[in-house]
Chains A and B, each alone.
Chain A
Amino acid sequence: MYEHLETAQNPANLKRVVVDPVSRVEGHGKVTLLLDENNKVQQARLHIVEFRGFEKFIQGRPYWELPVLVQRLCGICPVSHHLAAAKAIDQLVGVDPDKLPPAADKLRRLLHFGQVLQSHALHFFHLSSPDLLFGFESDISKRNIIAVLADYPDIGLQGVKLRKYGQEVIRMVSGKRVHGTGAIAGGMNKALSKEERDYLLRDVDQIIAWADASVALIKKVHTANLPYYDDFATIRSNYLGLIKPSGALEFYHGGIRAKNDAGETLVDHFDYCNYTDLIHEEVRSWSYMKFPYLTSIGKEDGWYRVGPLARVNNCDFIDTPLAEAARADFKQHSPEAMVHSTLAFHWARLIELLHCAESIKTLLHDPDIMSSELVAKGEKRYEGIGVIEAPRGTLFHHYQVDENDIVTKANLIVSTTSNNMGMNESVRQVAAEYLSGQELTEPLLNNLEVAIRAYDPCLSCATHAVGKMPLQLELVDAQGDTIDRLVRHSDGSFEH
């Protein structure tokens, strides 16, 4: 669709515009545009600019450290990394998902619903709502949560409290709001006490009501601005994610389902332990984030999107009543089998947030979460693969260990990596359809970030890299100042 804008033919003659760093997302990214003399966009790229090397330095560590170590990839969705690693090390101690004690399985699910709830609330209210409430090109002083709290105190405060509730679920299960412990190989290290359970039950109905209201809010915002919201940053793609055996929406465990842009099923209930047959990752010179694709389709057209839009698109239904009603309503708004609108990520995200709130209530009423049977044991294995639906999409953790319990190989495909091509295509769509040929101003450039923010990118995870934020705008001649350079030789070695 917009691939022709990935690489310009004659970059040396173009002027460069950079949005650096992309703000109100997690992690370090920047967007560069190359423009010709008429300000026509000739090239647009989202670069992920940091690298941390987790896959390398966790080699040599004992496997039981993994859930606690790798969650430091990301401060927003640490629980997802914690649990994906835990599912992988379950296998190392010979415990398959169906052999996990019910208490451990349910506590992990509770923990993860708390994670998805707080992350979705953070993403929508703290990071994206300023764009949606004040307008994409609103004054810079308005584009932050503090301004939302000042001008829309009810909405802002509900967002803050929704996130707080998710964080409190996490704290009760894992001991800390950010980077707790909890999951260990084959189970969990603690059950919920009655006091902890009652504490969480106290507010859960209010949380469900607020979550329901937030779905109504995004629906109002989205439908009030049709067809703009359906066109902005929108691209057609394949979609991938985990699914329950019943076809219901699933976050913690299931098989992989992928559908194409027409809604035809590409794979279904695929065992994620064979993910290397399904997905490969392409490296491009201009980003530390790789580009995954479905091998059966190939590099050109095999890229796919993950996350709330993919999950809500892919599932047959949601197994909680309010969220299912919201899903049916959501699907009705699209004439097609699949919703491709990139801004509909927000709508799908809030439907999921509602599902989390409802599911938390169900789990809190389940006596198993207070059971003391927390850990299962089995025969040692040498390879473990854990896959989970993180807030931003499918997250793969794959480890190999030696006879001494030491990690010898690690492969991580984090959610945002799977959306790399999607984000780039959305950036190009906005650049081509909304910016090209215009005098570029700071508010106008915010449109690029609005497109990226819809994906809720976790750029920090994505390169096993790190983050920073704000916004800097500069215009330089592409022939001028090259910043820092890393030279790679043909044999793969490199120098500064």
Chain B
Amino acid sequence: MSKKTTVKAGSKPSAKKAAKPTAKAATKTSKKVTTKADNFGGLSEEILLRMHDLMVKSRVLEERLIKIYKAGEAYFWIGGPGEEAFGVPLGMLANKGQGLAHDWFHLHYRCTPTLLALGMTMIDSIRLIMNRSTDPSTGGRNFANHYCFPQWNVAPVTSPIEVQYPIACGTAHAQKRFGKKAISIVTGGDAGTAEGDFASALILASRKGQELPILITVQNNKFGISTPFEGQHGETNIADRARAFNIRSRVINGNDPVESYLAMQEEMEYIRKTGKPSFIEAHVTRLYGHSSADGANKKTHMFDPVFEFENRLIKAGIISEKAAKKIWEIYEEEGVLAQEKVRQEPSPTSESVWDHVFVGNENADWRKF
């Protein structure tokens, strides 16, 4: 996306600049706080446009991944379209970097929006789903959206759900010792809170005098594959369970990027200031089902946070319809080009199965002991 594609209604974007997709351009718009009737919680236009840009990018990417799966160019899809309004602000707010001075991320497989906000390129996500050796997360070894980016402290996403919660307590423990105000951030789904690992994390994070700097989040989309929320939960709010451990907690509308941004900003500041945990339950939409196992078809009757936010920005005069449409087009083109490029990229070799069983490619094959 070019700088011009994000300007207000009435502007004429330059075709030349529009052909150079770069989401960073959105940050070059006005930094003043909007004074419209909808004041977006006081967030600057720069932040709002950046969020919109990344939300669109994430949606386009996830839809591209589904298309790749349905075209038979991938074995499996799982993802998080519908969670952009929560995931994008999460990635934007974090202290990004490698090492204990920066935040750690323990994400699940619905976190493409967060990864894009951290700086992941579309093509790297496509490399993952098309299991190429160029896939930076797994080298073609794992499923779609099982991301891993050590350069941003993004821990490997696992297939078993909720195991990331106590692991996040481990990084938070090391961060607390390091003492530079960095935090660990963990995400997961509502159905996964049935797992014992969720309770483990609440306990580990909240022990008196040993509280951990960790933002514990649950994205509640009201479904565990095909089991509705009521089929698993007796509690009114999952966040209430955190209160039982004296963990500060709140329920937010995760479909509203403004509310998400402000809530997470506040909780992150609280954690950095106190060294104590905080809990956010975010209500989100599951727009395309759980995975390719249940069809990955769009549910058109559901609230769509990307379109709703876009309409809100248009209505407020922060972006034009034309400029918004252009963003979708640019990312669609980027996705298509990335898919075409990845098709040409190499697959992992058969011999590479023995690579990285142990550090330094130490012999792992017992036949060779």
Q: Do A and B come from one complex?
A: no
The residues of B with any CB-CB pair to A shorter than 8 Å are none
